[in-house]
A and B are shown apart, each in its own frame.
Chain A
Amino acid sequence: AQSVTQLGSHVSVSEGALVLLRCNYSSSVPPYLFWYVQYPNQGLQLLLKYTTGATLVKGINGFEAEFKKSETSFHLTKPSAHMSDAAEYFCAVSDLTDTGFQKLVFGTGTRLLVSP
């Protein structure tokens, strides 16, 4: 079964600084990978996803992520943080159930704090 590790439960940056949120997955078989964002007391919104093809994926709100197979990583970056980026971010990876159904396995999340 797949697992996802998000390093750092909290990441603090200043407004305008680079945002880097780390995600590593367990499988050697390239999975599908996702980043979601969650604002307080709300559901999750898809930021971006990697399926096949180009390893650098661009998403909404200026975020991007790079799939690195050799490192089993899918880190999320944004060149310049904005106050509105403060939220919790979840990395997810596809996994196959016993019945052959694809499900998502989520990391434990990273809370991004942005200071003025």
Chain B
Amino acid sequence: DGGITQSPKYLFRKEGQNVTLSCEQNLNHDAMYWYRQDPGQGLRLIYYSQIVNDFQKGDIAEGYSVSREKKESFPLTVTSAQKNPTAFYLCASSPGQGLSEQYFGPGTRLTVT
């Protein structure tokens, strides 16, 4: 089955710790994205990657970092510099350039205390 997997589903961390969220896709898509979802605010773009070894900041990149060493994988690190990291994080992918829809993973709920 083709799709996007995110792990873990729930993640708990203490304040001051970095944490990495996993995102893997087997759809052979070039583009991948990370979004943050907070109640009442919709989805906000953190980072996106058009192709392997390339990524760009989205609208709320501060306190986050990413890498794109493989086409299938786009991990997101939430650093201790992110002031309010508790949120639902969604990974998505799309075939690439062009106005195609994005396919979403099931999400990771991060709670930082």
B56 touches A97 (CB 8 A): yes
List B residues at the A interface (Cβ < 8 Å): 4, 6, 9, 31, 33, 35, 40-45, 48, 50, 56, 58, 88, 90, 92, 97-99, 101-107, 109
Are A45 and B104 in contact, with the CB atoms below 8 A? yes
Q: Smallest CB-CB separation from A97: which chain B residue? A: B56
Contact A49 B56 (CB under 8 A): no
Q: Is the CB of B42 within 8 A of A41?
A: no
Q: Is A13 an interface residue (CB 8 A)?
A: no
Q: Is A43 within 8 A of B90, CB to CB?
A: yes
A51, A90, A102, most chain B CB atoms within 10 A: A102
A92-111 interface mask toward B, CB cutoff 8 Å, 1 = contact, 0 = none?
00100101011110111100
Chain A residues packing against B (C-beta within 8 Å):
9, 32, 34, 36, 41-46, 49, 51, 90, 94, 97, 99, 101-104, 106-109
Are A99 and B56 within 8 A (Cβ)? yes
| B43 with A90: CB separation less than 8 A | yes
Find A41's partner among B41, B50, B101, B109 (CB 8 Å cutoff). B109
Q: How many A-B residue pairs have CB under 8 A?
A: 55
Query: If the complex has contacts A49-B101, A103-B48, are A43 and B41 also in contact, measured as CB distance less than 8 A?
Result: no
Task: Given A43-B90, A43-B92, A46-B103, output 10 extra A-B contacts at Cβ < 8 Å.
Answer: A9-B40, A41-B9, A42-B106, A43-B4, A43-B105, A44-B43, A44-B92, A51-B99, A90-B42, A106-B44
Which residues of B are found within 8 Å of A90, using beta-carbon distances?
Answer: 42-43
